[in-house]
Each structure stands twice: as structure tokens, then as C-alpha cells.
Structure 1
Amino acid sequence: AEKGRAVGVVTQGGEALRAKAVVSAINPATTILNLAGPREVDTGFVRKVKNIRMKGDAAKLHLALDRPPQFAGVDAAGHKGRLVIAPSPDHVEGAFNPSKYGEFSPEPVMEITLPSLVDPSLAPSGACVLSAVVQYAPYALKQGWTAGKPQFLKAIMAQLEAYAPGIGATVRHAELLTPDDIEGRYRMPGGHWHHGELQADQMLMSRPVSGWSGYDTPLEGLFLAGAGSHPGGGISGAPGLNAARRIIAMRA
């Protein structure tokens, strides 16, 4: 930054790249507090960024299976879609409650896909990969994730076994990413892949923070185009599209 304006980026190797606009699609807190630096931005904005709630409560499960699983009551076409394990609203609430006290759900809610059924190149012939979002897994597990992760994986596999009998015997490899893992691997503070909770006070005109929902920041020339901006993460690409439109409009 020079004279209150973002003028480019410096790579890890020390190369400086100058630009009229700098667009960040990473976490707003990382962008403002670590990359730009709080000294370059007014204290009120910095305070708001520090107060964004972004402690993740979802884990990601990846399984390599010897063969495709068979979920009870689901036809072949259904297996190619999104499979949700959430028997009732009460069950979802019951799964969420432990996370309020730093514990994981003993009967977790899951959103499951079997990507290799749609794209066979993702697994060897006859084998299958499973990907699932697992809720709820608090960022700050009371017992710590080193001890808790094996126990949570056991609970997840028990839940899967109940809906897809025999799946456990076909697991060749399992990877479970807790919010703590997501934070460490992808440098997302709090391990929240939406870069901040999608709650009423952190949505729409209040995303990423109140008064700054237009993708620009107090540091002129710096724009936020990631999941921390409206309308949040996912695969829509909407924050990036909106930010690009904003930059074009400001230049015009």
C-alpha cells in the first residue's frame, strides 16, 4: 500500500506486481489483518473484521471405497445425486446441540455425494469415492481434535453403516478434515469455508461487515471477492462476479 491505496502485491519470492486494483478471494480477516496489515486500514474497520464470527462447525469426509455403496431405498439415479442423512428436524437439532458445548454429534447429519458415479475417472474401475459434509463438528472441541477425531470418525462410519449396510468393509482409505484441519491446511481462520457464519447479522448488507458490503474496502483499490462477501461461499462464483461488476462500475 502507498498513501492509503493498494498498489499491488508482493509474492512469497519477493517479486512486486503493481496493479490498479487488487482483488482478494481469500478470507477477509487474512486479507486485512495479515496481508494488507491493520496499519493500512482505519481502526473501526479493523475492529469489525476482528469481530466476524468464523468458527467452523462442519467437517469434510473423503472415503476411497472398493465398490459403490448401496444406500437403502435409493435407486441408481439417486446415488448420482446428493444424499442427505437428516431423518427429521428434531434429529438435526439434536445433532447441533452438542456442538454448543464443544462436543461433536454422536449421530451426525451428512450431505453425501459419490462423485465417481458421475465422473468414472475419479476412481479405479469398479471402485468409488465418497465425499461428505458432516455436521456438527465444533472448531474448539472440548477434548481436542487429536483425541476426538478418531472417535468422531467412528460415529460417522456407524451412521453411514446404518444407511448403507456393508460400507465399512469396503473402505480402502478415509480422510476426515475437522475445522481445525481446514484452518491449518487452507489457512482459513476458524476453519469456516464460508469465511464467516451465514447468519442474519452477517449476511446481505452486513457481509463481510456492516457499511462495507460493496466489495470495496477502506484501502482504496483493494476489493474482497471471496466467500466472506455477499452472498457467501459455495460454487456459484457470485461474490467474484459481483466484485468484478463493482470494479468495472467504479472505473466507469
Structure 2
Amino acid sequence: MNTEASTQRRAELHAALADPGRLRVVDTLSLGDAAPSELAEALRMPSNLLAHHLKVLQEAGVVIRHRSEGDRRRSYLRLVPETLDLLSVPTGRTAPRVLFVCTGNSARSQLAAALWQRVSAVPATSAGTHPAPAVAAGALDAARRHGLDLRAASPRHVTDVRHHDDLLVTVCDRAHEELDVPIDLHWSVPDPAAVGTPDVFDAAYEELDRRVSNLAPRVTLPENPTHARPTTPKESR
């Protein structure tokens, strides 16, 4: 991109972000995806005003919308990765552990936890809402290609793993929509097992790697951590 075009593009982005409401949308989406209704609730913003802000951000290429792999009537909003370097960084947070959750706990959540453990001192683990019998062969191969070892990993149910003070990150639309416990962040990562080819598993790995690298520097251990305890299925929102 030449200098004139680059300057024009920067001007468009600055114009799109030159509103406190749109900056709040961008800050919220910088750590995870959200459905419009979830975004409106999180920001306490009227739906008609949010729709206006989203239209401006989408036209500027800052935000894109895609259909849920779970409930096809729903859609999720996400930031376009190339714009992230231009955005302000939200305040960091503390957590004694990060819990990544998908449906089968056989690919995305396993890869995310392994990636997290490679870059952060904050412990991480993973679980599923409907655990598969074993980690997917495609996930094992992708992990091996990228220097991770999932051979000892096994799928577990979220109710057997979750602690009440976990930072819970769903990496699957279906898990996000069916969990009845507080969810801190959602990453709408397509299911690589649906296609099953190595390049699709690599794409999921790369997306998770980008998101983990974005979030990990912002999460630290509490100064006085308490001993986390497992929750029970009765604990919910």
C-alpha cells in the first residue's frame, strides 16, 4: 500500500473510532467475540445505537460478522486481526487459572491450553461440554507440527474441571451457547474436525495462537491467590 493510500486508510479507521461508544465496542471485542445481544448487554447500550456503531465499524473494516456454527440464527462479531495494532489495549486482569472450553475437548480447547502454557505463568487447562472419547488425531498431528505435545491429554467434562475463580474462555460457539455458568471471554474458532484436513487444523492452531498471544500478556496471577475449588453443576449464572 502506497503512502497516500495508507494515510487514507488510517484516516478512515480514526474516523470510525472517533466516538466513545465505538471505542467501547472495540475494547470489548479485542479480547473475545460476542453476539450483538451480548454486546448490548455488556455495554448497556440500546440496540438501535449499537446497530449504528456496528454499521460504521463494519463499513470501515474494523469489525466483521459471521454466522454461528451452533444456532444458525445467531451471529457473532469479531475484530479484523489486521486492525488490532491500531487499537488501545484494555486494562489487564488477574486469574489463578485459565480454563478453555469447547464441545468435545478434543481439539480447540486442548490446543489453546497447550499454547497458553507455553507463554504464560498463569496455569491453564481445558474441558468440554460433551467430551469426546479421545483427542482428535488431527489435533495431535497439528500439535506435533507446531512443537506441542498433546499425547498425554484426554477430554474431560467442564463440571469436573471448572473452579469458581477460573478465567473461562469458550473457543467454540456451541459450548458458548449451552454453558450455564459465567463465561468471561468467547473466541469463535471454527471446528477443524468438521473438515478434518491438516490445513484446517493448522488454521485453527494459528487463530488460537494469535488470540492466546494477544490475551496472555494481559492476565496475571493474583497477588494473594486463594485455593480454587471445583464447582458443582448447580452453580450457574
Q: Which structure features the higher share of strand residues?
A: 1
TM-score by length of 1: 0.25
Q: Which structure features the higher share of helix residues?
A: 2
